[in-house]
Amino acid sequence: MAERIKIAFPSRGTTCAGYLHLPPGADGPRPCVVLCHGFSGTMDRLFPHAERFAEEGMAALVFDYRSFGESAGEPRQLVDVAGQQEDVRAAVAFARRNEHVDPGAVALWGNSLGGAHVVSVAADDPDIVAVVAQIPFNGFPERVEGRSTWQTLRLLAAIGWDALRGKLGLSPYYIPMVGRPGELAVAATAEADQHIQALTSGEATTLWRNSVAPRGLLGMMRYHPDRAAARLSMPLLVCAAADDRETPIETTRALAERAPRGELLTYPGTHFTFYVDPATRERALTDQVAFLRRCLHRDPG
C-alpha cells in the first residue's frame, strides 16, 4: 500500500497543505505526478488517483489551493486563477526539492479547472515532462445546455453582487457550487445529487464545501488555456467526456489540437461521469498511466 506523507509548502504569501503519496517500498527518487483539482474542489477527491499512480511506481503530490480545504488563505472558497497557478508552480518546486522525487521527471495532472492550470503552467516550464488534462476548462461555452436565460441572469447578478462586496471589503456572497435544475448554483444539473454524493462520500469527506464565492468566475471569463497550449514543448494528453456540458468537447479539443504534441482521448458520459463512475475513472487512469510511462522514457516501477 502506498505511503502518504502530510506536507506543506509556501506559495506567494500563503501556505498550501497537501500529501505526498509514495510507492510501496520506495527506495530512491521516483518520477512524480503533481495533481491539481478543479473549481471549488479539494485534494481528498484525488486520493484514489494519487494512490493509483503510487501503485504504478510514481510519487504523487496532491494539495489544496489557497483558501480551500486544509490550505490557508482568506476569504475562504474564493477561486483566484492567478493565485491557483502560483500554487501549482509552488507545488512543482516543492516536489523537485523533495528527496523522494526525481527532479527531472515531474509531470502535471489536472482535472476541470485544474486541467486549464496544468496547461498554462507547463507552457512556461519546459522541464515538465508531461501534462494530463482531464475534462479541462477552456473558456465558458456560449450557452450552457439546460440553463435558461433567467437562470443565467440570476448567476450574473450573483457574480456582480459578490464582486461589489469584494471591492467594498465585505465578506463574500456565497452560492452553492452544485444545485438542481432551476436553482442558483455554479452548476445546476439533474446530476446534482449524484455529484454531491460523490464529493462527500468516502475518505476525508470534511474538506469539500458546496459553497463558493461567485466573483471567482470573473477571472475565468478571460481564461483561455488553449493559447498557452500552443507553447507546450512536452506531450499533452487531453481526456474529454463526449456529452460534457460544463467543459464541452468542442472547446477541450482545441487544447489537444493546438499543442504541438497533443493527443485527445474521449470517454462516454458527462463531466460528472468522471466523478461518479468508477469504471470511467479506471479506464481513464489506465490510459493516463500508459501515457506517463511513455513520456518518462522508462518504466517507473
Strand order in the sheet with 14-22: 3-11, 14-22, 59-63, 30-36, 101-111, 131-134, 236-241, 262-267
The x, y and z cell numbers of residue 171, run together, are: 465578506
Is residue 157 a part of any domain in this protein?
Answer: no
* 95 neighbors 62 (Cβ within 8 angstroms): no
Q: How many CB atoms lie within 10 A of CB 1?
A: 7
**pTM of the entire structure?**
0.94
* 200 neighbors 34 (Cβ within 8 angstroms): no
Is residue 155 a part of any domain in this protein?
Answer: no
**pLDDT digit string (tens) for 198-240?**
666 655 456 899 999 999 999 999 999 999 999 999 999 999 9
Place of cell 501515457: 291
The predicted structure's pLDDT at residue 144:
64
Is residue 240 a part of any domain in this protein?
Answer: yes
The predicted structure's pLDDT at residue 137:
96
pLDDT of 299 > 60? The answer is: no
Is residue 130 a part of any domain in this protein?
Answer: yes
Domain that holds residue 236: 3-144+222-296
Is residue 162 a part of any domain in this protein?
Answer: no
Tell how strand 3-11 and strand 101-111 pair up.
unpaired
Domain count for the chain: 1
The predicted structure's pLDDT at residue 202:
57
The predicted structure's pLDDT at residue 300:
42
Tell me the CB-side half-sphere exposure of residue 121, using CA atoms within 13 A: 33
Is residue 91 a part of any domain in this protein?
Answer: yes
- Report which of residues 250 and 188 the model is more confident about: 250
The predicted structure's pLDDT at residue 204:
46
The predicted structure's pLDDT at residue 301:
44
Is residue 110 a part of any domain in this protein?
Answer: yes
Q: What is the mean pLDDT of the chain?
A: 92
In this structure, what CATH number is given to the domain that contains residue 271? 3.40.50.1820
